[in-house]
Amino acid sequence: MSKIIGRSCDVAISAAGSSYTELGEIMSASLSVSDDVADATTNDSGGFKEGMYADSQASLDVTMKYSKADAGQALLYTAKFAKTLYYFRVRPLASAAVEYEFIFQGLITDLTLDASTGDVEELSASIQSSGTITKQVQS
């Protein structure tokens, strides 16, 4: 599969975390990692709130041109209807000497097929992480 100039990243899905299937026809992808902040305020805080990191979580939003022949898009439906954790791999397309990838297990919380009149069908997915998010050098 060739790289398309202006594409933000490659996203792939896997049932077992070993062999990944790329999602095709990606138009946009957004990976967000956020942290909860626990209140650590005490009487010694001088009247100011204090916080500390608590739980972290990632969310991935992907929008694609729908393709019924795309194996990655088909796996999204399989994962959604099975209500099963799947592995996701996000590879930003960077030009740095070292390129990283992010891998995590996640649940598909939303899968939307938009078939507007006069436009090509689009498929969008929202994925919420479950467990650890790994950042490593792309293999």
Q: pLDDT tens digits for 7-27?
A: 568 999 999 999 999 999 999
The mean pLDDT value for 122-139 works out to 93
Query: What is the distance between the alpha carbons of residues 12 and 119, in angstroms, rounded to a whole number?
Result: 25
DSSP 31-74: EEEEEEEEE---TTSTTS--EEEEEEEEEEEEEEE--TT-HHHH
Q: Let me know if domain 9-137 sits in CATH 3.30.160.
A: no
Query: What is the distance between the alpha carbons of residues 125 and 132, in angstroms, rounded to a whole number?
Result: 20
Query: What is the distance between the alpha carbons of residues 52 and 41, in angstroms, rounded to a whole number?
Result: 9
Q: What is the mean pLDDT of the chain?
A: 89
Nearest CA to 76 among 67, 90, 86? Answer: 86
Q: pLDDT tens digits for 46-103?
A: 889 989 888 989 999 999 999 999 999 999 999 999 999 999 999 987 666 678 899 9
Q: Say whether pLDDT at 36 is over 50.
A: yes
Domain ranges of the chain: 9-137
Q: pTM for this one?
A: 0.84
